[in-house]
Amino acid sequence: MAQAPASAEPSAPENGLLRRLFSSGTGVIALIYVVLYVLFALWDHSALTSGTVVNLANNAAPLAIAAAGETMVVLARGFDLSVAGVISLTNVIMAAYPMEGPDGAAISLLICLAVGGMVGLVNGYLVSVLKLQSIAATLATMIICQGLALVILDAPGGTVSDFVADQLTDVVIGVVPVAGLIILVIVAVWLVFQRTAMGIALYTVGSDEVSAQLSGISVSSTRFIGFVSAGMLYGLAGFMLSAQTATGNPNGGASFLMLTFAAVALGGTSLSGGRGSVVGSILGAGTLMLLQKVLFAGGVSSFYTGIFQGTVLVIAVVFGGLITRLSERRGAR
């Protein structure tokens, strides 16, 4: 029979789940989100109505999906700036070439996913094969995508197909927002992915690239998959953004650059890789968007939303870092 390991602390399974939740930061952001929602409910009595929930889901969906995609790259230790470019590009495609009806919507969705996926392929090639720094390579692809968006639509305008704009911001079965469903599907896919060999490889590459390679993991394939899935998620985010704004804006993705990373960091994902979760990033995005609503309900001028967002970001990162270090110390030998 196996004897107890030499480490001082017994690895008791009871505190394992809690510890894992908090050390990955997901628990922290979930807590923050709940606290924020409570504040929201206190200041705005319509906070718990289904209308508000749907509104929140629609608002947060593009950022949440973008943050989910970014997490796929950050976990393997990298930065993907092309999120802004892909979102702008897919948004203008939706607005400049609207396709009516459910079939049209399906084709549009496929186009968005394909565009995002191709950008992801290019990023993956530049980083994994040509060994460029991810921040520099994705900076270049972002600028190129941004330029292509301007070529397609040089000023805000165009109209997104009615089907997309109406149905995707609507509800299903009475109270469940479609946007919320889509996010849940992403979460479900993620939870499955975490338990696949590729999911484990993603974390391992981010944790220690050298030992991952020496253990037989193909670092470049892993990163490739990370970039491609990220790109496709950005495409989906652009699709949802189009549904929400119902129009095209060639610079629509610009604000996503910072907010996406803010959501990822808020969600507890470490920017140096190896630790974190898509669920956390989605909650982080939700928190950022909820913060806007809470401030509005609290009577704070919308000018100053940024100050709060920035402060919350800093506090969350510091807090999350503290928790991680504490949980590491308790479990370490």
Residues numbered 302 to 331 that lie near another protein (CB under 8 A) are 303-307, 309-311, 313-314, 317-318, 321, 331
Q: Does 151 bind another protein (CB under 8 A)?
A: yes
Q: Does 262 bind another protein (CB under 8 A)?
A: yes
Which one, 247 or 324, has the nearer CB to another protein?
324
> Hey, what long-range contacts does 293-296 have (CB within 8 A, 24 or more apart)?
293/40, 293/44, 293/56, 293/59, 294/36, 294/39, 294/40, 294/43, 294/44
Q: Does 207 bind another protein (CB under 8 A)?
A: yes
Q: What's the rounded Cα separation, in Å, for the pair 126 and 137?
A: 7
- Largest Cα span, the chain: 70
Which span sits near another protein by CB under 8 A: 31-39, 43-51, 156-164, 257-265? Answer: 257-265
CA 46 and chain centroid, separation: 27
Binding to another protein in span 89-118, by CB under 8 A: none
Q: What's the rounded Cα separation, in Å, for the pair 181 and 169?
A: 11
Q: How far is the CB of 321 from another protein (least distance, A)?
A: 6
Look at residues 248, 276, 247 and name the one whose alpha carbon lies nearest to residue 263: 276
Q: Does 210 bind another protein (CB under 8 A)?
A: yes
Q: How far is the CB of 211 from another protein (least distance, A)?
A: 4
Which one, 119 or 179, has the nearer CB to another protein?
119
Q: How far is the CB of 49 from another protein (least distance, A)?
A: 29
Which span sits near another protein by CB under 8 A: 43-51, 52-60, 96-104, 270-278? Answer: 270-278
Q: How far is the CB of 132 from another protein (least distance, A)?
A: 5
Which span sits near another protein by CB under 8 A: 21-29, 96-104, 112-120, 197-205? Answer: 197-205
CA dihedral angle for residue 36, residue 37, residue 43, residue 49, rounded to 10 degrees: 160
Which one, 167 or 207, has the nearer CB to another protein?
207
Q: Does 298 bind another protein (CB under 8 A)?
A: no
Q: How far is the CB of 312 from another protein (least distance, A)?
A: 9
Q: What are phi and psi of 4, to 5 degrees?
A: -65, 145
Q: Does 250 bind another protein (CB under 8 A)?
A: yes
- How many binding residues for another protein (CB under 8 A)? 76
Q: Does 173 bind another protein (CB under 8 A)?
A: no
Q: Does 136 bind another protein (CB under 8 A)?
A: yes
Binds another protein by CB under 8 A, chosen from 12, 173, 174, 216: 216
Cβ atoms of 85 and 144 closer than 8 Å: yes
